[in-house]
Amino acid sequence: MRRAYLFLLLSLLISPGILARQLILTDRDAQIVNAELPVVFCAQIPYISLQQLAQIYKVKTWERAEAAKIVIYFPQREIKVTAASAFITVNREIFQIGTPAVKTDLDYYVPAEPFLAILQQHVSLRLRYKYYDGGSSSYLHSCSAVVQPTALPLVTAPEKVNLSNMLFEEKSNGIAIKVQTTQPFSDADLTYFFHGGNGFFLSINRGICDPLVLSRYHPTHSIEMVEAIQDTESVQLRFNLNRHFTSSVVQYDFRTSQIVLSLYLPLNEDIKSKLELAKNEWVIDTIVLDPGHGGKAIGTPGRWGYMHEKDIVLDIVLRLGALLEKRSDLNVVYTRKTDVDIPLWQRAEIANRAGGKLFISLHVDGVNNTSAKGVCLYLLRPGKSKEAIEVAERENAVIQFEEAKDIEKYKGYDDISNILANMVHKAYMEDSERLAEIMSRHISSEVPQKNRGVKQAGFYVLIGAAMPKLLCELGFNSNRSDAKLLNTKKHRQLLAEVLYQSIIEFKEYCDRTVVKQQ
């Protein structure tokens, strides 16, 4: 159906009635004087025959009929012409000839003026030509006689076209090429070929286009040219790329009725380093260790001649730090390494300033009930149980030792739910929970103390730290068996090792997740 229509259309375009002239061609470089070259008109544009031109120049041609291509071998220059294409190559350089070349059974025709202008510039500087009106019409009849339907240039009537236009959008990371359609296509209609070179080929099954409308020379700085070829069942688009694209996506967008071809540039150094930075933000590489209390803030006092909380936790932190420091992929930061008190707000600030990726605050609890014992891990969240709230209150009470200007800083700290809703903590809560789960598992299996599990409360020391964070109550100084254990180096070393294993397992989990996202 379409083929028959094309025949009709083109019979009108190349009609003997409107053919009248020939060219008189002189090229002193090639010893050609006043050679006659007949002209045929296609859509009122003068075309010349390539075989006749080759005869005048006495140069060879070679045709690849199955690809509808012809090569003309001028001295030092070979010109390739493809039927239905408005582009030719001269020694691989691409030029536009305005309207497509036409193939008949025996010959190829190109638009005279653009083609001869290219010859003048690139093959023969002394080529001159003029039109001559006295040509006989007998030749013209023989030309039209060889025109066959299968050899016609494929120019499509506007009402048949379903690929109407092509738009180009340059973007910082590549280019989007949008082919406007007037009927829906599916992704299955689109096949393409791209291996990162300078040619991209897209075949649109069921596509009908006017190759003159879709073909472009230098449409954007990324694309040298677009060549559209209408086949019987599809449209072939060939893009000659000016830039080195590394990947591509082609899909049909039903909302805009466009075939969207996206070509991506390699990630540039700037984007790479930003990605690297973003990746580093999530890699657990800096661990902040916070031994509670210090100086005159002794924490829960040691009974039975045992150590105070501040000394137990400092000793465990130093042991844990020594293990972590052995690793080349970790940086360890301490809020204190000696027996000094640091305001709670300042501990978080130390952590933030150091670019901490994990904040661990160590404590030992103490209550009136001497039977209470065991290890408990706390997440920063509004306290749920009375017991958890009381633990936080005991730990927060340490601010009574701080100066008035420091105490000012804790205004509003009691409104934990408000703080959590408005700050970055949410982002880190999931990681904090994961660490708590890992650590709790290690405590259950390796620590000969009761595991009281993971709880939540509003610890001031955790509020300011913008990173995953956990507060560990490593036992009760008010319980004799806990206190006795905590006063042995062996047990403190064991706790340090369990914390170390948990931190490493957590780090490995997080780093793996980061790598996956890249």
Q: Is 478 exposed, middle or buried (0-12, 13-18, 19+ CB in 10 A)?
A: buried
**Spatial separation of the C-alpha atoms in residues 1 and 6, rounded to whole Å:** 9
Applying CB under 5 A, among 100, 111, 135, 292 the residue interacting with Zn ion is 292
**Spatial separation of the C-alpha atoms in residues 300 and 296, rounded to whole Å:** 12
Nearest distance from residue 394's CB to Zn ion, in Å?
Answer: 7
> HSE-up of 229 (CA within 13 Å, CB side)?
18
Nearest distance from residue 300's CB to Zn ion, in Å?
Answer: 7
Nearest distance from residue 401's CB to Zn ion, in Å?
Answer: 12
Cβ nearer to Zn ion, comparing 293 with 450: 293
* Stretch in the footprint of Zn ion (CB under 5 A) among 270-278, 359-367, 478-486, 494-502: 359-367
Site string for Zn ion, 388-417 (x = CB under 5 A): -------x----------------------
- 331 strand-pairing partners: 286
Please count the residues of this chain forming the interface with Zn ion, following the rule CB under 5 A: 4
Which of 320, 458, 322 shows the shortest CA–CA distance to 393? Answer: 458
φ/ψ region of 34 (left if φ > 0, alpha if ψ in -120 to 50, else beta) reads: left
Nearest distance from residue 474's CB to Zn ion, in Å?
Answer: 10
Cβ nearer to Zn ion, comparing 200 with 476: 476
* Stretch in the footprint of Zn ion (CB under 5 A) among 11-19, 165-173, 290-298, 432-440: 290-298
Cβ nearer to Zn ion, comparing 61 with 456: 456
By CB under 5 A, tell whether 310 contacts Zn ion: no
- 359 strand-pairing partners: 288, 469
- What residue ranges in 8-75 does DSSP mark as E strands? 22-27, 32-42, 45-49, 60-64, 69-74
State which residue has the least CB distance to Zn ion. Answer: 363
**Spatial separation of the C-alpha atoms in residues 268 and 401, rounded to whole Å:** 53
Nearest distance from residue 502's CB to Zn ion, in Å?
Answer: 20
Angle, in degrees to the nearest 10, between helices 489-517 and 269-282: 150
Cβ nearer to Zn ion, comparing 103 with 308: 308
Applying CB under 5 A, among 80, 363, 381, 469 the residue interacting with Zn ion is 363
Cβ nearer to Zn ion, comparing 152 with 297: 297
Nearest distance from residue 395's CB to Zn ion, in Å?
Answer: 5
Cβ nearer to Zn ion, comparing 220 with 370: 370
By CB under 5 A, tell whether 450 contacts Zn ion: no
Cβ nearer to Zn ion, comparing 313 with 354: 313
Site string for Zn ion, 151-170 (x = CB under 5 A): --------------------
**CA angle 81–83–86, rounded 5-degree value:** 70
Cβ nearer to Zn ion, comparing 324 with 344: 344
Cβ nearer to Zn ion, comparing 226 with 392: 392
Nearest distance from residue 361's CB to Zn ion, in Å?
Answer: 8
C-alpha 288, offset from chain centre: 33
C-alpha 515, offset from chain centre: 15
Contacts of 478 (CB under 8 A, 6+ apart): 300, 303, 365, 366, 367, 368, 369, 370, 372
* Stretch in the footprint of Zn ion (CB under 5 A) among 108-116, 169-177, 235-243, 363-371: 363-371
* Pairing, β 358-365 against β 286-291: parallel
Contact 347, 337 (CB under 8 A): no
By CB under 5 A, tell whether 299 contacts Zn ion: yes
Q: Which residues bind Zn ion (CB under 5 A)?
A: 292, 299, 363, 395
